[in-house]
């Protein structure tokens, strides 16, 4: 459903990449939220929480309620799924179907934060993972049903990273919130995050060194190609398999010597988690933890779901740059947060408005000359 990871260059600068997979496209919008933007988080029956942004940020967002045809949601109605603020803090929402359950009551009279507002709250208020973690010790957070997901109760967990490389996982499991320091900087989906870390004990043999020659008795054997080192990686697109693969790629991908090359390298890494439509298909009776609704019919008319990479985002935490690509795109669109330094009002556009077609180079070749 989603894969996220951090990558470092030779100077230790931090970059972040993630994909989002669902079985259908939601009305995603890219939003710039300025310093001073005021937001109110409110759950029915609970004390609302109002907060004002101290930091500007970019975010990929969705509305909680599906907009009417032609309607344009306001910035306050759009909830960040992915974002980067002006201090290099990132926030990511990833699918986690086991989030809901009985929740402890909030303290009387204290403002309650809806989990769907964690993104705007964290990105607008804080500069570091440590600040977010400290604030969550005293801030009540509760889950609520989301109409745009057919009433599913906030089926997500959340990852926060900062420019130092510190990583935090915010995970609700059966209604109870858990905070985990993330030593590998990787997140996918279920099971619980702590389970994924324990599962890495099963992969101590992984290395990026090809062992291409060996001997069995008197027979010397040789692998006729490179790449045997990845033989032990899980091959499936399950969250368990992707978690292990993401740790491997983040660990062993060559460290780039410049920020631009680092962003390119991160793009190559994230290509390993890009999923075309139809690669895996789920019928309703086959089980699985789909939080999405089936969106296609096969030739017999039976409904099925096929997850695909709706969009991929990259972030340069040091330079405060965000790069976005949707399913229709071959190239990334680049957004520079520093360019918005003087902007005091939100800016909103549809994600598919950033679609990057292939660079047309036919004229360049046509007009070139032989050396």
Which class for 198: exposed (0-12), middle (13-18), buried (19 or more C-beta within 10 A)? exposed
Predicted pLDDT of residue 53: 98
The residue assigned the tokens 């964690």 is 118
DSSP 3-state assignment of 338?
Answer: helix
Cα(75)–Cα(29) distance, integer angstroms = 10
- Residue ranges of the chain with per-residue pLDDT less than 50: 292-294
**Does residue 269 contact residue 242 with C-beta atoms inside 8 Å?**
no
Tens digits of per-residue pLDDT, 288-322? Answer: 555 544 455 555 666 778 899 999 999 999 999 99
**Does residue 123 contact residue 80 with C-beta atoms inside 8 Å?**
yes
Helices 129-136 and 118-125: crossing angle in degrees, nearest 10, is 120
Q: Classify residue 104 by its DSSP letter.
A: P
Model-level pTM?
0.93
Tens digits of per-residue pLDDT, 83-93? Answer: 999 999 999 99
* φ, ψ for residue 143, nearest 5 deg: -90, 150
The residue assigned the tokens 């389970």 is 195
Q: How far is CA 68 from CA 111, 148, 201, in A?
A: 30, 12, 49
- What are the structural domains of the chain? 2-207+235-366 (3.60.60.10)
Predicted pLDDT of residue 30: 96
Query: Which residues share a beta bridge with 316?
Result: 15, 321
């Amino acid at each position: 459903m989603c894969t996220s990871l951090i990558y470092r260059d030779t100077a230790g600068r931090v970059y972040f990449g993630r994909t989002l997979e669902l079985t259908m496209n939601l009305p995603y919008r890219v939003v710039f939220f300025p310093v001073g933007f005021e937001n109110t988080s409110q759950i029915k029956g609970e004390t609302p929480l109002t907060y004002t942004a101290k930091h500007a940020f970019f975010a990929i967002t969705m509305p909680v309620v599906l907009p009417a045809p032609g309607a344009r949601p306001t910035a306050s109605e759009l909830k960040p799924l992915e974002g980067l603020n002006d201090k290099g803090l990132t926030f990511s929402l990833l699918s986690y179907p086991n989030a809901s359950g009985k929740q402890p009551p909030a303290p009387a009279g204290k403002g309650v934060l809806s989990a769907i507002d964690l993104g705007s709250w964290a990105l607008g208020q804080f500069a570091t993972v440590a600040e977010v973690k400290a604030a969550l010790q005293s801030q009540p957070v509760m889950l609520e049903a989301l109409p745009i997901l057919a009433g599913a109760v906030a089926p997500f967990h959340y990852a926060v990273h900062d420019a130092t490389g510190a990583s935090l996982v915010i995970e609700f499991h059966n209604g109870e919130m858990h905070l985990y320091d993330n030593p590998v900087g990787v997140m996918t989906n279920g099971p619980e995050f702590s389970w994924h870390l324990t599962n890495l004990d099963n992969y101590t043999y992984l290395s990026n060194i090809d062992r291409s020659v060996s001997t069995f008795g008197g027979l010397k054997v040789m692998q006729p190609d490179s790449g045997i080192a990845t033989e032990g990686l899980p091959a499936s697109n399950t969250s368990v398999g992707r978690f292990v693969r993401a740790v491997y790629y983040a660990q062993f991908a060559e460290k780039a010597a410049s920020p631009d090359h680092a962003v390119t390298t991160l793009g190559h890494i994230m290509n390993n988690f890009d999923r075309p439509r139809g690669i895996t298909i789920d019928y309703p009776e086959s089980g699985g933890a789909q939080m999405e609704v089936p969106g296609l019919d096969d030739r017999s008319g039976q409904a099925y779901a096929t997850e695909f990479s709706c969009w991929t985002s990259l972030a340069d935490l040091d330079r405060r740059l965000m790069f976005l690509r949707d399913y229709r795109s071959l190239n990334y669109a680049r957004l520079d947060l520093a360019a918005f330094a003087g902007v005091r009002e939100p800016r909103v556009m549809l994600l598919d408005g950033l679609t990057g077609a292939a660079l047309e180079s036919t004229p360049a070749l046509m007009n070139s000359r032989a050396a």
